[in-house]
Amino acid sequence: MKKWNLIVDVDNCTNCNGCVLACHDEHFENDFPGYAAPMPKHGHSWIDIRQKVRGTSPVVDVAYLPVMCQHCDEAPCIAAAKNGAASKRADGIVIIDPAKAKGQKELIDSCPYGAIWWNEELQVPQHWIFDAHLLDAGWTEPRAQQSCATGAIRAVKVEDAEMLRIAEEEGLKHLNPELGTKPRVWYANLDRYTSCFIAGSIETEAKGIVDCVEGARIVLKRGGEQVQETVSDNYGDFKFDGLAEDGASYKVEISHDRLGSKSLDVKLKDSVYLGAISL
Amino acid sequence: MGATKFSLILFGLAQTLKIQARRYPAFAERLKEKNFTAQMRTKDGKAGRYFTFKDGKVISRKGLHPNPEVDLIFKDAKTAVGLLMPPIDQLKQINAIKDFNLALEGPDELTNWFTQTVMKSQTAGWKYGIDMGGGVTRYTNMTNGGPVFLYVKDGKILRMTPITFTEDDPEPWTIEAHGKKFTPPRKTSLAPHGMNWKSMVYSPDRLLYPMKRVDFDPNGERNPQNRGISGYERISWDEAFDIVANEIKRAKRVHGPGSIANSHGSHHTWGNVGYYLSANFRFVNAIGMTRVHHNPDSWEGWYWGASHHWGGSLRVGQSETYGGVEDCLQNSEMVVFWSSNPEGTSGSYGSYEGAIRRKWLKELGIKVVHIDPYYNDTAQFLGGKWLAPRPTTSPALALAIAYVWIDEDLYDKDYVEKRTHGFDKWRDYVMGKEDGVPKTPEWAAEETGVPAKDIRALAREWGTKRTYLGAGGWGNGHGGACRNATGIQWARTMVCLVAMQGLGKPGVSMGNLQWGTPVDTNFYFPGYAEGGMSGDLHHTAMSVELYQRMPQLPSMNTNDQLIPRLQLPEAIMNDKAEGYVWNGVSIEAQFNKISYPKPGFSPVRMLYKYGGSIIGTMSNSNRHVKMYQSKNLEFVVNQSIWFEGEAKFADVILPACTNFERPDISEWAALGGYAHHGQTQLNHRVIVFQHEVIKPMGESKSDYEIFNGICKRLGLSAYFSEGMTELDWVKRVFEASDLPKIISWKKFLRKGYVVLPAEKEELRAPVSWRWFYEGRKKDVPEPMPLPSDYTEEYLMGLQTQSGKLEFECESLKRFDAEDPERPPIVKYTPSWEGHRSEGVADKYPLQLITPHPRFSFHTQGDAKDSFINNIEEHRILVDGYYYWVIRMNPADAAARGITNRSLVNVHNDRAGVICAARLTERIRPGTVHGYESCANYDPLGEPGNSIDRGGCLNLLTPNRSQLKKGHSMAAAAALVEIVPWNGKDTAIGGGAKAGASAKKTGKSKVAVAAE
């Protein structure tokens, strides 16, 4: 049985809000009985783009994470819902029926992703329905995909085994897999949002002139073990990425054939730019 | 023989009116509107027929009526047959009017109704849109942010989407680079301000009825001092039209020519008939109005500066834009984005078409560098090295790069020798021979805050890699740093840098993949700047091509008095202003001075304002608030879609409808004129019929209908409308274009859009500047410069006097070689409102930059309770109010006790604006970032003299021109201080404490500069 999955590439999301606005356009003042009640004009982000700025000026990067209903196969909302208000369709899409779910505010807290929103006026919990109403009417893609200019959002309807193969091949991950919710939303390049980096700029002074040091070798060690190695670029910049935000201690060892070596200790909880390091 | 045919045609018309009324209920309803008799006859009265309209019935008889209210008179029967026999020849009709072979007599209300009814009898049966089943019809339209499908049911818009192509639409182009093939997706993209339109159409701020300020009495007390304070009452359209028409006559009668001014925004809702350069210009010219003459607001530094180095005056100082995407992907090794954020500015009209191409840049691993005080959206998307200079100091950074290139021999000496002029002079300045100050990286580091080592590293890499310089939003100009106090210097240095590296060499040019796709550049469809139905050959680009293709009555403004826009408030309040013109015809045209008032003309006493964007988009704009309260303005009418900005300062408000509520026709990103071939921003050329998808909201009317309504009261409606409805004009645009070659009108009305086939690979436009690099004749498909502007043989060389890239500008030498603000070679002079501004920078130590907004299109899409307000990078909700966002470095915020999302007072001597602080490492310390173009002016006390919580940061920006001998806004940067806002202070200043210190220090230099 082919089922829907959504693949979100964090590397290609620019926060243009095309998907967010398309969702709003689709649901504001539009009632789709059996799928979704109208969305309020303000206060809801059924597709919610979260921003993470790493580092400090002038060495920063920024990643955006669109978070929407994850259409979990082990959905906590389905477990929490009374009288079958939340249910799983055969094509994998989770629907919170607006009529059955009326008054079930507790569904908001059941979602560990914060992807269910409470409509105060209508007294219903609401979420991004994967544009199931459109897919059922013959659309081949949800509007979030149609409105995405960079191809950061892609819906695929495949067998679960095929999806696992795609996930493996493209390095896709789930948001908070430890929750065991088995989401049908997958993320590419999730590290850009969830991991942190250590960066620095190597320089040297000669005859009163400070210049960038290109080609220095930098080794990153954790608990004495080398975890990464890199070479500084023409700005003397280096960056170790994909590190866990776990507060671990690292040693950054810099060496250069001609200019000698230096080593720094870093305790990493958040991305850190070490600034200029003089050799 | 002619008489018989004429009789037959008239008989046929009578039958048509009756038949169409039977077939189409809307047409039958129209016939019920008037009871009168119209007649069509020959001048000698020997042939004719009359048509009596009575309670929806048409009674028609051959022969003459004794007393017809409307008389349509042809010179003779032969002439009449020639004009009325299908197919109708528009040129013949226009010539007949010009030669007085055709006359229309009677009151405008009836003549216009009659001719439009005759036209409507031809169009009544047209069918629009695609039936999607379930009572839903899919229509098309065009926004500033891209084309859209609209799904409509029961007269209400259900949804709007971008257009996904079907198998009937042509395949797009493919570019091969480094062994990879790149093809854009088969769909259109849509900017946020396009995707947001449903909330704009149904905004609670829509103006639904004509309104009059309660204490404005055209025959008594006018109370101009209460503009912006007193409220409004609903009036009828008849009353509104009467007041406006009477005020037009009154101003002319009492004050004489020049006394009425027209002021419009720089943009509009999309279309070729309804655009401001179209219907509005014909109206303005028909009335005779003083023009509020625009500064080249998106081009400033390029027009006033760069054009002297490389010509391009007809691109407002920018340059050719062809083939850049292919060349950049195939041949360049690095792209430097300098004050260039195409991901944020969408090429103005290019939606997100460029995003996919910059993604290919990423896929190919071509290096990128971003130079911007803010880690902008393009940097976020592409990554790469970020250099963050202090605002307004980029020219110093550029000089230091040139220094390294000269010092380390890293530039194309052969090219400089053969293709450029005056390099030695500039080299001497750069190296310090002229002024004793070598422009070293260390020198520039002091100025810019960018470490010297980074400047050197960039210069070395740039000097050894084939590099595209993306300067400004379009890559070769537009927006960004060209709009601040050193914008002219910056744009000039950008040209000098690419000239040193051999502009036109494979992989070496200006561009950021925003322009220069290989779309078809030979298929004709007019851009909006070609003036649509304006008939204006002087102030639009109509003479380039549209005038011959779409014959129409010419229009000409007999009133050639100009007000330089940046000084509109001074012109009104003091009856005096000076400036220089924006006229792209030649490099030298900008040296023409404007003096207001013009000898023999009246100063302005009535303002016809189109829209309400000025307070959020012009500079030091409390001046405009005060202007509106001036007694010198005896009458202000504002024609606006929404109740916002300065619409709230009018005496009479005329509610205009949106482009979704009137018919029009247009091509995506087809600008024409100064932005010739703007479609090369797109991956696909898409032309749409802009359906009237819903009826105008409330009593609002299209701009065309509003102008025509006023014209009817001035006897001008036949001239303004040429007897037609705007739908007829839409068809005339269609026929004027190349569209009839590829699609029938009927099919176009139904389907609503056409995607043009991609150009064959072998026929693609050549790469810009390659001809120049190779010393050949110009071969790119742009009609500029004009033939007389070549020094040597036609098409050989540039528009400059030498025909070369000029480091030392001969045009500036001729004009004023001693001008310290704009010397013949570009030099660095620190901003008069920058970190070195003595006595000001200590009081207002933060440098505010106000780039173009990302999510709204200037004021369009902002506020008005739109969806965009929900986007936290646009506005932040605090205690039930959506505040404008000011971005601060956490260190600057901490030093001021400011926390994330808290309310702050951004202020200087000019104004105070309450914003919500967004703390981010994306902005360099010492600089703060907030978009320009807030739509909502919301003063907390007396308008003009209190702080604003709407978010109009332009209240804070300097109105001083970048140069005295120009007319050039410098509003993209200002000095400010920011303090927490206590929720109570409403006076300008930083609250009680700051207010006291402001008193003590007296007028600062910011205030002096403002004068």
What was the pLDDT predicted at B2? 83
CA angle B755, B759, B763 (to 5 degrees): 165
Residue B991: which pLDDT band, with cuts at 50, 70 and 90?
low
Cα separation, B137 vs B111, in Å, equals 35
What was the pLDDT predicted at B998? 37
Q: Give rounded-to-5 percent helix, strand, coil for chain B.
A: 35, 20, 45
Shortest Cα distance from B694 to chain A (angstroms)?
A: 16
In 3D, which of B69, B40, B33, B75 has the Cα closest to residue B54? B33
Nearest chain A residue to B133 by CA distance is A137
Q: Which residues of A touch B160 (CB under 8 A)?
A: 25
What was the pLDDT predicted at A202? 98
State pLDDT tens for residues A92-129.
Answer: 999 999 999 999 999 999 999 999 999 999 999 999 99
Contact B445, B457 (CB under 8 A): no
What was the pLDDT predicted at B347? 78
* Structure tokens that stand for A90 in this block: 């055969």
B753 vs B992, higher pLDDT: B753
For an interface test with A, give the residue of B341, B453, B684 to mutate (most A CBs within 10 A): B453
Whether residue B996 has pLDDT greater than 70: no
What was the pLDDT predicted at B1004? 40
Whether residue B297 lies in the annotated active site: yes
Q: Which residues of A touch B343 (CB under 8 A)?
A: 14, 16
Residue B60, classed as helix, strand or coil, is strand
Residues A25 and A124 in one domain: yes
CB contact under 8 A, A18 and B190: yes
Residues A91 and A161 in one domain: yes
Residues A260 and A169 in one domain: no
For an interface test with B, give the residue of A10, A56, A57 to mutate (most B CBs within 10 A): A57
Q: How far is CA B561 from CA B259, B603, B627, in A?
A: 10, 9, 19
In 3D, which of B589, B647, B682, B562 has the Cα closest to residue B937? B647
* Mean pLDDT (whole number) for B323-352: 95
B125's CB contacts (< 8 A; 6+ apart) are B20, B23, B24
Contact B399, B407 (CB under 8 A): no
CB contact under 8 A, A143 and B865: no
Q: Which residues of A touch B351 (CB under 8 A)?
A: 149
Residues A137 and A186 in one domain: yes
Contact B964, B485 (CB under 8 A): no
Sign of CA dihedral B641, B644, B646, B651: positive
Strand pairing report for B652-655 and B635-640: parallel
Residues A149 and A271 in one domain: no
Residues A141 and A261 in one domain: no
| Torsion angles phi and psi, residue A27, rounded to 5 | -105, -15
Report chain B's mean pLDDT, rounded to a whole number. 96
Cα separation, B932 vs B954, in Å, equals 6
What was the pLDDT predicted at B699? 98
| Torsion angles phi and psi, residue B471, rounded to 5 | -110, 120
State pLDDT tens for residues B189-232.
Answer: 999 999 999 999 999 999 999 999 999 999 999 999 999 999 99
CB contact under 8 A, A211 and B457: yes
CB contact under 8 A, B158 and A30: yes
* Structure tokens that stand for B87 in this block: 């197919």
Whether residue A27 has pLDDT greater than 70: yes
Q: Which residues of B touch A209 (CB under 8 A)?
A: 442, 452
Shortest Cα distance from A204 to chain B (angstroms)?
A: 9
Cα separation, B322 vs B832, in Å, equals 37
Cα separation, A80 vs B900, in Å, equals 35
Residues A165 and A246 in one domain: no
Contact B975, B846 (CB under 8 A): yes
Residue B1: which pLDDT band, with cuts at 50, 70 and 90?
low
**B416: left (phi > 0), else alpha (psi -120 to 50), else beta?**
alpha
Residue B920: which pLDDT band, with cuts at 50, 70 and 90?
very high
* Structure tokens that stand for A221 in this block: 């060690």
CB contact under 8 A, B925 and A234: no
State pLDDT tens for residues A118-159.
Answer: 999 999 999 999 999 999 999 999 999 999 999 999 999 999
CA B387 to chain centre: 30
* Mean pLDDT (whole number) for B178-187: 98
Alpha carbon dihedral B776, B779, B784, B785, in 10-degree steps, equals: 10
Sign of CA dihedral B794, B798, B800, B802: negative
Write down the H helix ranges in B141-236.
192-195, 197-201
For an interface test with A, give the residue of B158, B159, B197, B360 to mutate (most A CBs within 10 A): B159
How many CA within 13 A on the CB side of residue B419? 27
Neighbours of B438 (CB within 10 A): 16
* Mean pLDDT (whole number) for A161-183: 97
Strand partners, A153: A8
Question: What's the domain count of chain A?
Answer: 2
Shortest Cα distance from B854 to chain A (angstroms)?
A: 8
CB contact under 8 A, B456 and A212: yes
Q: Which of B108, B215, B297, B703 is catalytic?
A: B297
What percentage of chain B has pLDDT greater than the value 90?
Answer: 96
**Secondary structure (H, E, C), B266-322:** CCCCCCCCCCHHHHHHHHHHHHCCEEEECCCCCCHHHHHHHHHHHCCHHHCCCCCCC
CB contact under 8 A, A149 and B381: no
* Structure tokens that stand for B915 in this block: 């914003």
What was the pLDDT predicted at B1000? 37
Q: Which residues of B touch A133 (CB under 8 A)?
A: none
Cα separation, B224 vs B750, in Å, equals 50
* Mean pLDDT (whole number) for A234-245: 97
What was the pLDDT predicted at B1008? 35
Residues A102 and A13 in one domain: yes
Q: Which CATH number does the domain housing residue A53 bear?
A: 3.30.70.20
Whether residue A177 has pLDDT greater than 70: yes
CA angle B140, B144, B146 (to 5 degrees): 50
Cα separation, B782 vs B767, in Å, equals 12
pTM above 0.80, yes or no: yes
State pLDDT tens for residues B862-909.
Answer: 999 999 999 999 999 999 999 999 999 999 999 999 999 999 999 999
Q: Write down the residue that tokens 């149609």 correspond to.
A: A146
Cα separation, B263 vs A53, in Å, equals 42
Whether residue B71 lies in the annotated active site: no
Whether residue B860 has pLDDT greater than 70: yes
B1002 vs B242, higher pLDDT: B242
Across the interface, of A14, A56, A237, the residue whose CB is closest to B377 is: A14
Q: Which residues of B touch A43 (CB under 8 A)?
A: 870
B491's CB contacts (< 8 A; 6+ apart) are B300, B301, B302, B305, B306, B317, B471, B472, B477, B482
Write down the H helix ranges in B817-957.
890-895
Q: Which residues of A touch B159 (CB under 8 A)?
A: 25-26, 30
Residues A120 and A217 in one domain: no
Whether residue B995 has pLDDT greater than 90: no
For an interface test with A, give the residue of B458, B668, B867 to mutate (most A CBs within 10 A): B867
Look at residues A193, A221, A236 and tell me which one is the last residue of a structural domain: A193
Identity of the amino acid at A211: D
Look at residues A172, A193, A214 and tell me which one is the last residue of a structural domain: A193
Look at residues A136, A171, A193 and tell me which one is the last residue of a structural domain: A193
* Mean pLDDT (whole number) for B750-767: 97
What's the length of chain A?
Answer: 279
Shortest Cα distance from A243 to chain B (angstroms)?
A: 18
CB contact under 8 A, B161 and A143: yes
What was the pLDDT predicted at B865? 97
Write down the H helix ranges in B420-545.
423-431, 441-448, 452-464, 487-500
CB contact under 8 A, B199 and A62: no
* Mean pLDDT (whole number) for A66-84: 98
Residue B993: which pLDDT band, with cuts at 50, 70 and 90?
very low
Q: Write down the residue that tokens 């088995």 correspond to.
A: A182
Whether residue B55 lies in the annotated active site: no
Contact B195, A21 (CB under 8 A): yes
Nearest chain B residue to A237 by CA distance is B385
Contact B807, B425 (CB under 8 A): yes
Residues A189 and A212 in one domain: no
Shortest Cα distance from A20 to chain B (angstroms)?
A: 9
Q: Which residues of A touch B182 (CB under 8 A)?
A: none
Cα separation, B36 vs B71, in Å, equals 11
Q: Which CATH number does the domain housing residue A236 bear?
A: 2.60.40.10
Sign of CA dihedral B62, B66, B69, B72: positive
Cα separation, B430 vs B408, in Å, equals 13
Residues A261 and A156 in one domain: no
Cα separation, B613 vs B785, in Å, equals 33
Residues A10 and A140 in one domain: yes
Name the residue range of residue A29's domain: 3-193
* Mean pLDDT (whole number) for B362-391: 98
Cα separation, B362 vs A52, in Å, equals 21
Contact B390, B449 (CB under 8 A): yes
CB contact under 8 A, A236 and B353: no
* Mean pLDDT (whole number) for B313-326: 96
Nearest chain A residue to B372 by CA distance is A58
Identity of the amino acid at B773: Y
- What's the complex ipTM? 0.97
Strand partners, B610: B264, B639
Q: How far is CA B387 from CA A230, B304, B849, B973, in A?
A: 22, 26, 16, 18
Residue B86: which pLDDT band, with cuts at 50, 70 and 90?
confident
Contact B150, B160 (CB under 8 A): yes
Q: How far is CA B779 from CA B419, B798, B1009, in A?
A: 17, 12, 46
